[in-house]
Amino acid sequence: MKKTFVILLAAIFTCSCSSAVQNPGLIADGPGKVLRLWYDEPAPDSDAGWENRSIPMGNGYMGVNVFGGTATERIQITENSLYSSTEGSGFRRGGLNNFAEVYLDFGHNNTSNYERDLNLNEGVSHVKYEHDGVAYSREYFTSYPDKVMAIRLSASKAGALSFTLRPTIPFLGSGKSGTVVAKGDTITLAGVMSYFNIQFEGQFKVIPSGGTMKAANNTISVSDADSTVILIAVGTNYQFDPKVFLTEKNAEKLAGFPHPHAKVSGYLADAAAKPYEKLLANHKADYTELYDRVNLDLGAAEPAMTTDELVDAYPAGPSSRYLEVLAFQFGRYMLICSSRNGTLPPNLQGIWNVYKDPPWASQYLHDTNLQMAYAPVFSTNMPELFDCYVRYFNAYVPLQEVHATQYIKQFNPSQVDPDGDNGWAGPFWSNPYTVPGRSIVAGFGTGSWIAQMFWDYYDYTRDKSLLAEKLYPVMYEQANFVSRFVQDIDGALLAKPSSSPEQKLRDTVGTTFDQQMFYENHHNTLTAANILGRSDSRLATYKTQLPLLDPIQIGKSGQIKEFRQEEYYCDASKALDPAHRHNSMLLGLYPGQLINNTTPAWLDAAKVCLTKRTHKSGIGWSRAEKISMWARVHDGEEAYSYYKELLGGNYMHNLFNDHRGGQLFQADANYGATAGVAEMFLQSQDQVVAPLTAIPAAWSDGSYRGLLARGNFEVSAQWTNGHASRLEVLSKSGGTLELRYPNVAKAVIKTSTGQKADFTAKGSDQVRIETAKGQTYVVTDIPVCIPVTAPSNLMIVKDVKNQIELSWTGSADAASYNLYRAVGNAPAYERIASDIAGTNFVYKAPNLEQIDQMTLKVTAVRADGRQSYEGATVIRLLP
Ligand code: FUC
């Protein structure tokens, strides 16, 4: 049955994309390869239609939303530097502006056989229909290498194509002026947004085959053509220059930068000099080189229903696996569209905005949203897309150095360097023109969180020159700021003031958000310095400070505290929301590395927080974040449940994420969901490559290719009935590979050329291989590991005089039980008893009455010696 299906699909969908060349025998793309969004009607011509139904495209230089109309086609263009004032207050207060509304008037009212789609494999969109006996088709793409959008319009009958191109400038007046002028084969749309004195220009070139063309005022009409190509280029006088941020007067920020006319004319002239087919080939080569690095196959065929039906039918729909894969790749697609080197990074709406007053001004929020946009960039194997942010960062960081000195003077004056060597301070929000001063909504941990992405860039690519030139200095100078900012309070070095993002207890001391982020960056900076052999002057200070940053405190509910003053979960203030969308006390779990397999007691505490946060928050990005966080505590079912809630509750018909269930597009959850799914398939936060870490029962069979792990290992996997039948690891930089998978040490491990690979086993579930750069290691014949069911319901029955009487509900798998404890904030457990035969135990020790708090944990041990991965835990507080 499956075979027929594969052959059938192969016959129907012949994909022309250039798949990466693969070694024979390695995991190849499965039948789920063709991924597209498709619809049988145009998107409604309204804001709601834009958010819910239009097809997004982009090349970093511009974002585009295509509606697919037949009487009139509407193409809305976004350019990420076109900003107005954000001075007002509230949710909608200016910010990113809509660049252009472009119309193509066809007057085709009675159409049949309508279809439009977005093919994710190629990054190309189509509209097709019949009208008056003629089959019309349009093909759209946005090209990064050629910096243009190209549209090819065709008709099945010679001379049947007639239309009028009509670009317009939306929201003229109130600080925006401009004109649209058609001349010859080109329409030029140009103007000024006065607040930042932004000069903008878009050009539209019409290249018909056959027929006639006529420019009049602000339109170009094509009559009786066989086909036509339209090329679009846009730009502003924005440049990446620290001067933009350091200049205080808004209207002077861009002073001296050239008008975009020459640049835009150049883009268009260069593109027009190439045949359409060449432009298309350039685009496909550029796009597929990134997109094709990762494939995911969960065994789903392209369903017969349209994408809106598919979304509406989810999660009960028959083809939900298809949507799950589609949405995963859609997040990668969106990142390719919105984060290219030399262009502005993705903002809250990525690179897609139809409004004059977009939600939250389409800013860069660094207390979760911006980091989430980049969450899949390394794990889904597109690390160079982060260069986009690096360039933006380098433009704004000189202002943040000025701010750093101000903050140290203000908050810890004894530590200020009089010459201004105080590092850089993390922004809360920013835009292409400014980083405002401190906000009490989030602590300075935002900076270390940003620096963490720079560390990850190295850790996933292992590019030492990149580390030395672009990454280490960022981390080092962030640590510089932190090292001067923290204050010695009761023997720990704490942030003061400190806020846990968006929570309503502000300007407190040493929130876990700040402490964890500071800790991670100090740690990463020291590691990087070690790798590079650096001996910079402040490294010794960072080393002394590191153990005093106190990143994890365990509370009386067994939780990781969010606030130092917290005792039981979320009791630090009545104003706090126990189901708050931000999970800031868990950033060391994800996307950080602090809480991992080597810190099992902290993993258990993280699980307490995740459980107590509940499923209540319906915010898209929060659900996305919880996919990753639950995956990191190895719970595939919980992770999957959040993916399902997101797809079923927040994804609109065009797969844009609806932020909070009322049609409000925010791009972060799209990127974040992709990152979350990647975490389910592959993890490496403890520098151990662990494939298939959290796959749910619903994904019992499948394969993926090309996910990236720390160490620059490219990982592929194939599994059946939840069990890996084949793992492949391509070592892209050489070095030691630690690989973890149940029973991997009993498997056959060979190189892709069939030689036996040498490895050292660490127990049955982990192996170490000294890899050769460029070699692929193939793991097969992995004996099936049946997990041991854990005991549950651990209880303290009696606790007197240094004797704790425990009982628990047994596991059918158990031959015996082990008992562990983690005292206070300890990251790991110590074993206090083993070979326990029954389901109760009296733990006696002379000093138990001196221990304020500990977590007790019981696990099951099977006759074959395998221990349950999970256990039952209980918090023991002094009676
Ligand atoms: C942060 C989040 C909100 C929203 C906003 C744009 O403040 O807490 O949920 O995403 O950014």
Q: What are residue 697's phi and psi, to 5 degrees?
A: -60, -30
686 lines ligand 1 (CB under 6 A): no
Question: Using CA positions, which residue lies closest to atom 10 of ligand 1?
Answer: 369
> Which tokens go with 875?
């918090």
Q: How far apart are CA 325 and CA 320, in angstroms?
A: 9
Which is the closest atom of ligand 1 to the Cα of 660? 9
Give the distance (Å) from ligand 1 centre to CA of residue 349: 12
Q: How far apart are CA 517 and CA 444, in angstroms?
A: 9
428 lines ligand 1 (CB under 6 A): no
pLDDT tens-digit profile of 713-726?
999 999 999 999 99
Give the distance (Å) from ligand 1 centre to CA of residue 700: 35
Question: Using CA positions, which residue lies closest to atom 9 of ligand 1?
Answer: 619
H or E element in which residue 183 lies: strand 176-183
Q: How far apart are CA 119 and CA 6, in angstroms?
A: 20
62 lines ligand 1 (CB under 6 A): no
> Which tokens go with 800?
């007197």
Q: If pLDDT is split at 50, 70 and 90, which confidence band does 706 have?
A: very high
pLDDT at 10 over 50: no
What integer is the mean pLDDT of 3-28?
42
Give the distance (Å) from ligand 1 centre to CA of residue 670: 14
581 lines ligand 1 (CB under 6 A): yes
348 lines ligand 1 (CB under 6 A): yes
360 lines ligand 1 (CB under 6 A): yes
pLDDT at 17 over 50: no
> Which tokens go with 802?
């240094």
Which is the closest atom of ligand 1 to the Cα of 367? 1
634 lines ligand 1 (CB under 6 A): no
pLDDT at res. 14:
31
pLDDT at res. 455:
99
Amino acid at 312: D
> Beta strands 702-709 and 295-297: pairing type?
antiparallel
Q: How far apart are CA 199 and CA 176, in angstroms?
A: 10
Q: What is the 3-state secondary structure (H, E, C) of 361-389?
A: HHCEECCCHHHHHCHHHHHCCCHHHHHHH
Count Cβ atoms within 10 A of the Cβ of residue 763 and give its class: 0-12 exposed, 13-18 middle, 19 or more buried: exposed
Which is the closest atom of ligand 1 to the Cα of 668? 10
Mutate to test the pocket of ligand 1, among 86, 364, 367, 369 (most ligand atoms within 8 A of CB): 369
CA-to-CA dists, residue 190 to 235, 334, 433, angstroms: 10, 27, 21
> Which tokens go with 369?
């949203």
Any idea of the CA torsion for 367, 369, 371, 372, to the nearest 10 degrees?
A: 140
pLDDT at res. 24:
56
806 lines ligand 1 (CB under 6 A): no
Mutate to test the pocket of ligand 1, among 86, 96, 360 (most ligand atoms within 8 A of CB): 360
pLDDT tens-digit profile of 60-72?
999 999 999 999 9
pLDDT at 20 over 70: no
H or E element in which residue 855 lies: strand 853-861
Which is the closest atom of ligand 1 to the Cα of 621? 10
Spatial CA neighbour of 814 closest among 749, 746, 759, 865? 865
Spatial CA neighbour of 838 closest among 856, 821, 814? 814
> Which tokens go with 167?
């670009």
Give the distance (Å) from ligand 1 centre to CA of residue 863: 50
Give the distance (Å) from ligand 1 centre to CA of residue 369: 7
446 lines ligand 1 (CB under 6 A): no
pLDDT at res. 302:
84
Checking 527-536 for CB contacts under 8 A at 24+ apart, the result is 528/455, 528/458, 528/467, 528/471, 528/472, 528/475, 528/476, 529/472, 529/476, 531/464, 531/467, 532/464, 532/467, 532/468, 532/472, 534/472, 536/476
pLDDT tens-digit profile of 321-356?
999 999 999 999 999 999 999 999 999 999 999 999
Give the distance (Å) from ligand 1 centre to CA of residue 581: 9
pLDDT tens-digit profile of 98-147?
999 999 999 999 999 999 999 999 999 999 999 999 999 999 999 999 99
Q: What is the 3-state secondary structure (H, E, C) of 591-639?
A: CCCCCCCCCHHHHHHHHHHHHHHCCCCCCHHHHHHHHHHHHHCCCHHHH
pLDDT at res. 672:
99
pLDDT at res. 29:
74
CA-angle at 817, arms to 816 and 821, nearest 5°: 165
Question: Using CA positions, which residue lies closest to atom 6 of ligand 1?
Answer: 360
Q: In the chain, pLDDT over 90 holds for what percent of residues?
A: 94
pLDDT at 5 over 50: no
What integer is the mean pLDDT of 824-850?
97
What integer is the mean pLDDT of 23-47?
84
Give the distance (Å) from ligand 1 centre to CA of residue 549: 27
What integer is the mean pLDDT of 220-242?
98
Mutate to test the pocket of ligand 1, among 357, 364, 368 (most ligand atoms within 8 A of CB): 368
Check if the beta carbon of residue 499 is closer than 8 Å to that of residue 772. Answer: no
pLDDT at res. 662:
87
Average pLDDT, the chain: 95
What integer is the mean pLDDT of 173-197?
97
Amino acid at 609: C
- The residues, any chain, with a CB within 8 Å of residue 346's CB and separated by 6 or more, are 334, 335, 338, 339, 373, 667, 671
619 lines ligand 1 (CB under 6 A): yes
Q: What is the DSSP letter of 140?
A: E
pTM here is: 0.96
Task: Provide the angle, in degrees to the nearest 10, between the axes of the packed helices 387-411 and 472-485.
Answer: 20
pLDDT at res. 31:
57
pLDDT tens-digit profile of 517-574?
999 999 999 999 999 999 999 999 999 999 999 999 999 999 999 999 999 999 999 9
pLDDT at res. 744:
98
215-247 exposure pattern, b = at least 16 Cβ within 10 A, e = fewer: beebbbbbeebbbbbbbbbbbbbbebbeebbeb
Q: If pLDDT is split at 50, 70 and 90, which confidence band does 620 have?
A: very high
470 lines ligand 1 (CB under 6 A): no
Check if the beta carbon of residue 110 is closer than 8 Å to that of residue 27. Answer: no
Q: How far apart are CA 356 and CA 852, in angstroms?
A: 57
Give the distance (Å) from ligand 1 centre to CA of residue 606: 22
pLDDT at res. 8:
32
Q: How far apart are CA 649 and CA 520, in angstroms?
A: 34
pLDDT at 6 over 80: no
Q: How far apart are CA 514 and CA 857, in angstroms?
A: 29
Checking 320-323 for CB contacts under 8 A at 24+ apart, the result is 320/647, 321/32, 321/698, 321/699, 322/32, 323/647
Count Cβ atoms within 10 A of the Cβ of residue 419 and give its class: 0-12 exposed, 13-18 middle, 19 or more buried: exposed
Q: How far apart are CA 440 and CA 428, in angstroms?
A: 9
Q: If pLDDT is split at 50, 70 and 90, which confidence band does 661 have?
A: confident
Question: Regarding predicted confidence, which is higher, 193 or 317?
Answer: 193
Q: How far apart are CA 711 and CA 596, in angstroms?
A: 17
pLDDT at res. 23:
54
